[in-house]
Amino acid sequence: MLGLGTMGRGIAGVVAAAGEDVRAYDPNVDAAPAGVRLSSSLAEAVDEAELVFEAVTEDVDAKRAILGQLTGEAIVATNTSSLPLEPLSEVVPDPERFLAAHFFNPADLVPGVEVAAGPRTSAETLERTFAFLRHLGKEPIQVKAVPGFIANRLQLVLFLEALACVEEGLAEPEEIDAVVRKTFGFRLGAFGPLAIADMAGLDVYAAILDSLRSAYGERFALPEKLRDLIAEGRLGTKSGAGLRRYPEEELRAMLSRRDETYRRLLAASE
């Protein structure tokens, strides 16, 4: 593990908890999480490693400096949240054994890990990384290597709108967070925004967008994709298809899973 800050500590802890031998290097840290051996040099930490996780400061030069010192046969996985992978891939010992494995904080609790191939990542590297993440009890999800991947692109749009609500004086930060937690954020624990839109009805979303566009301008304009789906009669679960198709059996199972999950979430939040 290279870097033992917020994320490095979490990731190293998860790997150690899975019974693996973990060594870590961070010149600014003098205590390691349980089960993790702190090394006094980078060479000592990565010597014999099969997999090197990098979670140093989110700065391309800092990451290039440390990745450029690596040698050996290990797979190298960066935890970058937003940096392009090309400049990092250029300095590692073998770009075919380099990729991004983007954990979320706290790494021991959040199940999903976004995995993105770099410009030259091999199929074997992807396969081995997926297998290792599953061995850790994680759920790897492959995404394209675009800045912010999927999660931060979505998360940051929500953050910017929430911040705009604060700036416009619509409510206090605590109240805005409460609106999210108690309404649509509550549902996000079980479904993503696309399934939620299908359940609401894409025609309903189109009507809402129409009002928002009048109020806030073109960033709420009806996207072509939505116009096309509605024109095809794909209105969401109520018409059997929206962004996805919903065979009857599958839809019944999905709705009962929804209600069961929401009841569980509600009980847990009380």
> Residue with CB nearest ligand NAD?
5
Q: In the complex with ligand NAD, which residue's Cβ is closer, 31 or 123?
A: 31
In angstroms, give the least distance from the CB of 45 to ligand NAD.
9
In the complex, the smallest distance separating the C-beta of residue 146 from ligand NAD, rounded to whole angstroms, is: 15
Residue 45 token pair: 């930490």
Of 6 and 269, nearer to ligand NAD (C-beta) is: 6
CB of 104 to ligand NAD, least distance (A): 6
Query: Is the Cβ of residue 55 or residue 241 nearer to ligand NAD in the bound state?
Result: 55
Comparing C-alpha atoms, which of 140, 145, 128, 147 is closest to residue 52?
A: 128
The residue ranges of DSSP E strands in the chain, in sequence order, are 22-24, 36-38, 51-54, 75-78, 98-102, 112-117, 139-143
Nearer CB in complex with ligand NAD: 106/233: 106
- What are the phi and psi torsion angles at 113 (to 5°)? -135, 120
- Count of CA atoms in the C-beta half-sphere (13 A) of 28: 9
Closer to ligand NAD by CB, 160 or 208: give it.
160
The rounded distance, in Å, linking the Cα atoms of 37 and 26 is 11
Which residues make up the interface to ligand NAD (CB under 6 A)? Answer: 2-8, 25-29, 55-58, 62, 66, 79-81, 102-105
Q: How far is the CB of 17 from ligand NAD (least distance, A)?
A: 18
Residue 152 CA to residue 159 CA, distance in Å, equals 10
